[in-house]
Amino acid sequence: MLCRSIIACLLLGLAGLETANSAEAPDPTQRRITDSSSGAIRFSRDVVPALTRAGCNAGVCHGSFQGRGGLQLSLLGYDPAFDHEVLTKASRGRRINIAAPEHSLLLLKPTGVVPHGGGRRIAPDSEVARLIDQWISSGAPAPKPGDLQGLRIHVEPTELTLPATSSTAALQVVATFGDGEVRNVTTWAQFDVRDQTIAEVSRAGIVTAQRSGKTSVAVKYQGQVASVSVSVPYGPATDFAFPPRTALDVIVAAEWRKLGVVPAPLADDATYLRRVHLDLIGTLPTPAEVRAFLEDPSADKRSRRVDELLGRPEYVDYWSLKWGDLLRAHRRYLGEKGLASFNGWIRQSVRENKPLDVMTRELLTAKGNLFTNGPVAYFFIDEKVEDLAETTSQVFLGIRLQCTKCHHHPNEVWSQQDYYGLAAFFSRLEMKDSGTQGARFGGPKSIRPSLVDNPNRKPQMAVTAKVLSQATDPAALKSVPPTGDAVDPRLQLAEWITSPDNPYFARNFANRYWAALLGVGLVEPVDDQRATNPATMPTLLDALAADFVAHQFDPKHLLRTICNSRVYQLAPELQSERDADGILATHRVPRRLSAEVLLDAINQVTGTTETFVGQPPGTRAIALPDPTIASLFLTTFGKPARNSPCDCSRSASPDLSQALHLANSTALHTKLTAADGRLTSLLKAGRSDDEIADELYLAAFARFPTADERQAVHEITAEGNREEAWQDILWALLNCPEFAFGH
């Protein structure tokens, strides 16, 4: 025990003192239950959690990839065998003293008895110190291989509602080990709240409400993770009229009532029409389309418009652009011919409304010649098997595996073995040139790169022999590895990914499509689905995913389902007092149009076209093959470079350079004054001010001008040169936030 006389003298006057960064003493009501058969302290189950509790193996301390002060531990204790080796044998074994445990540096340094760069991390009389002391006293036994096998944790409650600011609730974490031992590990678990402005969580698992809203608490223990949904209602549960149009409306309305929020009213027809055109085809409705829609008295005109838009050629352009971004279609990887082949396959898939499971299987199992089989391009964009594993996981499963290349994922259950097991699915791939010698491809000489599956090819992965020996065989994120050397392992990977039972695939794309239409995903970022980053409305995401599976992964069905819901059709709010960021979908949050859509919208309103180098006249921005086409406008407004599969690669945030570009651009002035443009044509036709105002407002905003706007138009045009006055008016419309934002 730590109360030995020598250590007691050394610690005289220090006992009981705590610093801000030291570990808290455990709740006496939650004493640890050791192994019921022997009562012995286990390194994996006792010492490692204690070190984690003290922060010794955190990324900012000895758990960093280079260690600290000559000591390196595995991040958060995910490799107990490595940690035991370091603590008992490295540095000539000087960190522990079995003969005199009280003199062990492992105790003296973190308790502050001897100088320690990290300061005092452990109170001398704490449970952490007691466990370490007892472990050393028992001979510092090594971890048993099966200590953590089958470990799982359960947190109660799984959903928490705090009735008001400053109200609190306690979380309890129970660990069940593979051998049947059950422990209350609340004291040793780690807690992290996603949004600390809504709630805070103490190291003891006490959650305290800060303000109204919804967030979650991530719980971690020994490589296992869980999350707790935390709701702080805006007010008492309330009722309101919200006749549902789809099953989604019922689910969302129940969430609103629980949180005491009231949704915005339905958007008017003009707002809805502009919204659904931009969301589904990236194109504004024409004045004629607006007039016809507003005059249509049919009750089902909104759903009919959705069906009509899904059949338009602009739908193919717009969603091919989105898929091109996601799959990084770019000539720097593929050359001219390879890019044309890949884009052709993408456009054909969108045009045919190919189910997403079919698209995915075609991509992941592609082989043959790049120039004749478009999906082969997927394996020319990422050539390293590690990169292919990361991209495949992020794009098709919404799981970010990048950090598991070096260590266990700090916020998930994924390990290095999962990372390299997934990478091994691609280790048999080999590129071959079937033509003459020359550049890699797309160069000055004719070569025809092909992709083949070579069963005799050895894995080429930059990883330690230890990890590679455990992950040579393909294994898909805890799933059963494929069998049979003669079978291309990618076939089994594709079947697992696209299986209706896969817990990630359908949820990933349901979330991505929801985000594309609503502006914010149920999980944000959309490609970071993990247990510690739960959906804001889990029941809704589950329902969307289940419906997506039930309809054979039909993307148009998914779009139609969301667009026909009452939730999608709510009015926009600029300064909502509740749900300001729109995560509960109580209203439409305005968002800036993407670069390509905004440029096309300017051309559409002004009646002009864009000239892109190397592209046919009249090519729209949403139909460009890749980002290499020079355009100052598209660059300024955040077109993605397609160098990352991350959804964050496209910038949609407005900035000063964009505002200045719209305000002072010579290119925009040229469009406003174009001899064959919309405005010049209207003036030449002798149209009245009211008629011109109607036409421009319908083109830009999909609505008629208000009475005040008409009055302002008349005042401006009466001041002097009518043509210049109308150019100023059109300039003002294009610089108005109502034009540049979807709402």
**pLDDT given for residue 569 in this prediction:** 98
Q: Say how far apart CA 585 and CA 568 lie, in whole Å.
A: 8
Query: Going by C-beta distance under 8 Å and a sequence separation of 6 or more, which residues neighbour residue 548?
Result: 506, 509, 510, 554, 557, 558
Buried b (16+ CB within 10 A) or exposed e, 30-59: bebebbeeeeebbbbbbbbbbbbbbbbbbe
Which pair of tokens denotes residue 39? 């009562």
* Pair 541, 512: CB distance under 8 Å: no
User: β-strand 741-742 against 591-592: which pairing, if any?
Assistant: antiparallel
Distances (CA, A) of 212 to 263, 468, 487: 16, 48, 54
**pLDDT given for residue 70 in this prediction:** 86
**pLDDT given for residue 57 in this prediction:** 85
Q: Tokens 């149209």, residue?
A: 687
Which residues on adjacent β-strands are paired with residue 451? 368, 431
Query: Going by C-beta distance under 8 Å and a sequence separation of 6 or more, which residues neighbour residue 306?
Result: 276, 280, 559, 560, 563, 564
Q: Say how far apart CA 389 and CA 518 lie, in whole Å.
A: 29
Q: What are phi and psi of 604, to 5 degrees?
A: -65, -45
Question: Could you state, in chain order, the average pLDDT of each consecutive group of 10 residues for the chain (743 residues)?
Answer: 34 30 37 44 90 86 83 86 89 87 88 87 88 91 88 94 93 94 93 94 95 94 92 88 94 94 96 98 98 97 98 98 96 94 98 98 96 95 91 95 76 80 89 55 52 77 46 70 76 94 95 96 93 92 98 98 98 87 92 96 97 92 95 94 87 86 92 96 96 98 98 93 96 96 94
**pLDDT given for residue 247 in this prediction:** 95
Complete edge-to-edge strand list for the sheet that includes strand 368-369: 368-369, 449-453, 429-433
- The one-letter amino acid code at 188 reads W
* Pair 268, 296: CB distance under 8 Å: no
**pLDDT given for residue 458 in this prediction:** 65
Predicted structure pTM score: 0.87
Q: Say how far apart CA 248 and CA 561 lie, in whole Å.
A: 9
**pLDDT given for residue 472 in this prediction:** 55
Which residues on adjacent β-strands are paired with residue 216? 229
Which pair of tokens denotes residue 388? 């292919």
Which residues on adjacent β-strands are paired with residue 183? 175
User: β-strand 591-592 against 429-433: which pairing, if any?
Assistant: unpaired
Neighbours of 417 (CB within 10 A): 16
What length does the chain have?
Answer: 743
**pLDDT given for residue 462 in this prediction:** 53
* Pair 173, 153: CB distance under 8 Å: yes
DSSP reduced 3-state for 354 = coil
**pLDDT given for residue 24 in this prediction:** 39
Domains recognised in the chain with CATH numbers: 5-137 (no CATH), 152-232 (2.60.40.1080), 315-497 (no CATH), 595-637+654-742 (no CATH)
Neighbours of 279 (CB within 10 A): 21
**pLDDT given for residue 27 in this prediction:** 42
**pLDDT given for residue 236 in this prediction:** 87
**pLDDT given for residue 461 in this prediction:** 57
Which residues on adjacent β-strands are paired with residue 742? 591
Query: Chain-centre distance of CA 81, in angstroms?
Result: 33
Q: Tokens 């007092």, residue?
A: 577
Q: What are phi and psi of 616, to 5 degrees?
A: -60, 150
Q: For residue 603, how many C-alpha atoms fall within 13 Å in the half-sphere facing its CB?
A: 18
Query: Chain-centre distance of CA 112, in angstroms?
Result: 42
* Pair 176, 151: CB distance under 8 Å: yes
Q: Say how far apart CA 503 and CA 182 lie, in whole Å.
A: 27
The secondary structure of 495-560 as a DSSP string is HHHT-TT-TTHHHHHHHHHHHHHHSS-SSSSTT--BTTB--SSHHHHHHHHHHHHHTTT-HHHHHH
**pLDDT given for residue 459 in this prediction:** 60
- The one-letter amino acid code at 93 reads G
Which residues on adjacent β-strands are paired with residue 192? 218
Query: Going by C-beta distance under 8 Å and a sequence separation of 6 or more, which residues neighbour residue 240?
Result: 256, 257, 262, 263
DSSP 306: H
* Pair 327, 375: CB distance under 8 Å: no
Which pair of tokens denotes residue 262? 């009231």
